[in-house]
Amino acid sequence: MAINGPEIVSKYYGESEARLREVFDEAKKNSPAIIFIDEIDSIAPKREEVTGEVERRVVAQLLTLMDGLQERGQVVVIGATNRPDAVDPALRRPGRFDREIWINPPDAKGRQEILQVHTRNMPLGKDVDLAKLAEVTYGYTGADLAALSKEAAMKALRRALQQKIINPEDPSTFTDDNLKRIQVSMQDFLSAMRETIPSALREIYIEVPKVKWSDIGGLADAKQELQEMVEWPLKHPDRFKRLGIKAPRGILLFGPPGTGKTLLAKAVATESGSNFISVRGPEVLSKWFGESEKAIREIFKKARMAAPAVVFFDEIDSIAPARGMSVDTGAMDRIVAQLLAEMDSISRLDDIVIIGATNRPDMMDPALLRPGRFDRIVYIPPPDKEARLEILRVHTRKLKMGSDVDLAKIAEKTENYTGADIAALVKEAAMLALREAINNKEPHAREVTMKHFEEALTRVQPSLTGDIVKHYEDMAKTLRRALRGS
Ligand code: ADP
């Protein structure tokens, strides 16, 4: 007998308790029976956390019903949840739900077994290596693997239709010989993998980043540092282990907004073949209001499943301010403590690198800057003339430009512009050219000329000033000195 948690609460609104009683009655009548309650957290949330009278009554009813079952022993209740912490603790007691079984997402061996089950009746090509597939499908649950197998088979079938090996309108093509020619190849599985997102990765944004080193202008030093500290250890873990070199666990990028910190973190993930998990500090605080430390735990759990992974904490100062500095001290301290604990528990083998970004490193809890945590600080300066030219080149790569455009001259004129400002400048120039073409009813967009850039320069202002830049540089110096001193 199956009960769908959310359905009980919503569909039978107002009569959820009666519905529950019915199910239990029926089970007793038909015993031996198993009652399966899916997503039990939705009908039995912690009572102190629910506000609605209805929910409270439903939980109470469930408790009564379960206690009433005891004597018989012929009815077993199985509840399922992915949020055990959200279930009313009164249910998690002997005589009620007295056994708890953790169903972990499958590991590589488990995944191989699941794949074997789901491909048992499939004509697999000789090149299909299930062990290898099992290895690369981290984060895939049993259901995900079933979907993956089905999708791979569909691909093989579609191919057979395309090549007209079989024709659904002509049953005579369904000969044994023809059917034998349909085979699911390794490539089918690999491309199916690209389309099936593993459920473990859905909630916290995990992406396969696409930013390359070549998409970032300037910042040569920062690129090289990240390459050495992150890309190499992730790419050649054995070699690093053998040499006894310790890769840093956490790296803090610090610099004015819009200078490419996010881009760098994404690029290092792309180039090291890692997943990219991005966490925005203020979002963690608002979306997980009052439970942000749980979010931190969840993020690291996901990261372990998605490894190799780069976890990027943007605006990390907002979730890890120096303790005692924020208004809501208690909650903040818990988050910082959780973050510290998680960072300490990452082992070298986890293949996880944490990259934080901030423009207020002075606001951060100093405990985070200790060895083994964010033990490297990389200053991301605003671009100098050379770097601005490179950024201009990156952003005009796909632009149709007039021969009069002198990027070097624009680079000269854009002091105090950040990378983001330059991106906006190029976009503005392109818009101006487009608008001109539309106004003159020309069929094609015009080339972007120097005139458009000149005009754009008056519209897009730099977001930095000499004073601000100097302030950042001073901060960088202080930090470097402090790190050396520690
Ligand atoms: P930050 O994380 O430092 O605030 P981002 O990396 O998010 O800045 O940059 C915002 C946007 O500005 C990028 O998407 C990109 O278009 C542009 N940009 C910033 N810095 C650079 C750079 N060095 N090279 C190329 N584009 C840049």
C-alpha 174 to ligand 1 mean position (Å): 56
Which 3 state secondary structure label does DSSP give 73?
coil
- Least confident segment among 160-164, 211-215, 276-280, 467-471: 160-164
- Strand order, beta sheet including 33-38: 2-4, 33-38, 75-79
C-alpha 215 to ligand 1 mean position (Å): 10
Confidence of residue 54 (pLDDT cuts 50, 70, 90): low
> Each residue of 123-168: pLDDT tens digit?
888 899 999 898 878 668 888 899 999 999 999 988 888 887 777 7
- Please state, in angstroms and rounded to a whole number, the distance separating the CA atoms of residues 478 and 240: 31
C-alpha 461 to ligand 1 mean position (Å): 16
Confidence of residue 226 (pLDDT cuts 50, 70, 90): very high
Q: Which CATH class is domain 385-459?
A: mainly alpha
Q: With a cut of 90, say whether residue 337 has pLDDT above it.
A: no
Q: Which atom of ligand 1 is nearest to the CA of 219?
A: 23
C-alpha 422 to ligand 1 mean position (Å): 9
pLDDT of residue 456: 95
Q: With a cut of 70, say whether residue 465 has pLDDT above it.
A: yes
| N-to-C CA span, the chain | 63
C-alpha 266 to ligand 1 mean position (Å): 11
- Among protein residues, the one whose CA lies closest to atom 7 of ligand 1: 262
pLDDT of residue 463: 92
- Least confident segment among 164-173, 304-313, 435-444: 164-173
Q: Which CATH class is domain 108-202?
A: mainly alpha
Confidence of residue 419 (pLDDT cuts 50, 70, 90): very high
pLDDT of residue 344: 85
- Residue 423: which H helix or E strand, with range? helix 419-439
- Please state, in angstroms and rounded to a whole number, the distance separating the CA atoms of residues 147 and 131: 18
- Cα 339 to chain centroid, rounded: 17
CB-CB contact of 279 with 265 (8 Å): no
pLDDT of residue 28: 83
Question: Is 385-459 the same fold as 213-382?
Answer: no
C-alpha 277 to ligand 1 mean position (Å): 18
> Each residue of 349-398: pLDDT tens digit?
678 899 999 988 888 888 888 877 888 889 999 999 999 999 999 999 98
CB-CB contact of 105 with 134 (8 Å): no
Q: Which CATH class is domain 2-86?
A: alpha beta
Tokens of 230: 């992150």
Helix %, strand %, coil % of the chain (to 5)? 55, 10, 35
Higher per-residue pLDDT: 52 or 338: 338
> Are β-strands 75-79 and 374-379 bridged in parallel, bridged antiparallel, or unpaired?
unpaired
pLDDT of residue 60: 81
CB-CB contact of 174 with 166 (8 Å): yes
Substitution candidate for ligand 1 out of 259, 393, 426 with most atoms within 8 A of CB: 259
Q: Which atom of ligand 1 is nearest to the CA of 260?
A: 6
Which 3 state secondary structure label does DSSP give 51?
coil
Q: What percent of the chain has pLDDT over 90?
A: 33
Substitution candidate for ligand 1 out of 263, 266, 268, 358 with most atoms within 8 A of CB: 263
Tokens of 292: 């942000």
Confidence of residue 65 (pLDDT cuts 50, 70, 90): confident
C-alpha 479 to ligand 1 mean position (Å): 23
Residue 2 forms beta bridges with which residues? Answer: 36
DSSP state of 1: -
pLDDT of residue 404: 94
Q: Which CATH class is domain 213-382?
A: alpha beta
Q: Which atom of ligand 1 is nearest to the CA of 420?
A: 12
Q: Name the packing angle between helices 419-439 and 385-396 (round to 10°).
A: 40
pLDDT of residue 20: 83
Confidence of residue 401 (pLDDT cuts 50, 70, 90): very high
- Among protein residues, the one whose CA lies closest to atom 15 of ligand 1: 420
pLDDT of residue 481: 80
Q: Which atom of ligand 1 is nearest to the CA of 255?
A: 3
Confidence of residue 287 (pLDDT cuts 50, 70, 90): low
Q: Which atom of ligand 1 is nearest to the CA of 266?
A: 6
C-alpha 231 to ligand 1 mean position (Å): 20
Higher per-residue pLDDT: 348 or 265: 265
> Each residue of 177-212: pLDDT tens digit?
777 788 899 999 998 987 876 665 555 667 778 899
Q: With a cut of 80, say whether residue 291 has pLDDT above it.
A: no
Q: Which of 36-50, 134-148, 218-232, 339-353 is the most confident on average?
A: 218-232
- What are the pocket residues of ligand 1 if the criterion is a CB atom closer than 6 Å to any ligand atom? 216-219, 257-263, 357, 391, 394, 419-420, 423
- Among protein residues, the one whose CA lies closest to atom 17 of ligand 1: 420
- Among protein residues, the one whose CA lies closest to atom 13 of ligand 1: 420
For the chain, the structural domain boundaries read 2-86, 108-202, 213-382, 385-459
Q: Which atom of ligand 1 is nearest to the CA of 256?
A: 3
- Among protein residues, the one whose CA lies closest to atom 19 of ligand 1: 419
C-alpha 420 to ligand 1 mean position (Å): 5
Q: What is the DSSP string of 189-253?
A: HHHHHHH---GGGTTTTEE-----GGGS-S-HHHHHHHIIIIIHHHH-HHHHHHHTPPPPSEEEE
C-alpha 259 to ligand 1 mean position (Å): 5
> Each residue of 101-123: pLDDT tens digit?
877 667 788 889 999 999 998 88
CB-CB contact of 201 with 302 (8 Å): yes
